Structure 1
Amino acid sequence: MRHTTTVLLAALLLAATTGCGSSSDDGKPEAKPSASATPSVDPLVKFTKSVDEAQLESYATGVPAFQDLEVFPPEWCKALDEGHSVEWMLGDGGLYPIGQDWGTKKADAYQLVLLGVRAYCPKQAAAVTDELKALGEY
């Protein structure tokens, strides 16, 4: 399963970094990106890669498919924007990372939330880190 995730991650990275070229028949030169421009990384790619690299105990037999995981970080960011805590999200908020055929241990869920926040809403990462420290989970 980890191999499948790695292959999917590689495909996403390739798709994100390569573009389709087109020729222009209007006589105008084709615009070229600035050499100083920093390529942005799709948050899903960043999140999936960080989950794979974290080697969470919950996923020792294989990381859930990115389609199963990708639904959580945007919802976590939305909940944080609304003023909710990580504890609320993983409890009453119903945003605990679990699927029909996979689960996540609580300690790993805290780490997963932090990885998702770092990828999708990095401005919230410091607050999440502070909360996890206060809970003794970081």
Structure 2
Amino acid sequence: MRTRHTLTATAAAVLLALTGCGTEPEPDAKAAASATADPEAQYLSQAHDIKFNGTPTDDELTALPPQWCDALADGHSVEWTFSLSDGNLYPIGQDWGTAQQDAYTLLVAGVRAYCPENLDAVKDELRESGDY
């Protein structure tokens, strides 16, 4: 009887080890999961590191990425998205603004957090233009 319980416990332990149940995820996997779990926090942590001309509110900043993602999903370029005559989604407010390089950094942060499927295309366009 004791042998059967030992074999059952051993088999269960082997099965758990093979399926990965009961194990902690790798530290990098935890960081990635927490970063993608809250895109707003991920984006704002990077946005707060950018130097603005003035002081945008978090509400102003977080209003931008969903609009950028919609424009990109519709097939528009970064140039179109930021153009005042087209997308008109350049990060600027009534009392604040951003230099072009900082605007691109903010855009990349927003795309990385909110619509990462567009990140490679955005970076490629910025690199090709020499602006990133």
TM normalised by structure 2 equals 0.68
Q: Given the alignment of the two structures, is residue 48 of structure 1 paired with residue 55 of structure 2, yes or no?
A: no
Per-residue displacement from partner, 1:65-100 (whole Å, max 9, x unpaired)? 211101100010110010000010100101111111
Amino acid paired to 1:95 = L
Q: CA RMSD in A?
A: 2.0
Q: Given the alignment of the two structures, is residue 109 of structure 1 paired with residue 97 of structure 2, yes or no?
A: no
Task: Return the index of the structure with the highest Cα Rg.
Answer: 2
Q: Write out the 4+ residue segments of structure 1 that deviate beyond 6 Å after TM superposition.
A: none
User: How many residues of Structure 1 are paired with residues of Structure 2 in the alignment?
Assistant: 101
Structure 1 residues not aligned, in runs of 5+:
1-33
More helix by share: 2
The CA deviation at 1:108 is 1.3
State the secondary structure of the residue aligned to 1:97.
coil
CA distance in 2, matches of 1:116, 1:80: 12
The CA deviation at 1:35 is 5.7
Q: Which residue of 72, 87, 91 corresponds with 2:64?
A: 72
Q: Percent identity?
A: 46
CA distance in 2, matches of 1:87, 1:112: 14
Aligned position for 1:82: 74
1:26-37 alignment to 2 at 5 Å? 36=25
Aligned position for 1:133: 127
CA distance in 1, matches of 2:123, 2:45: 20
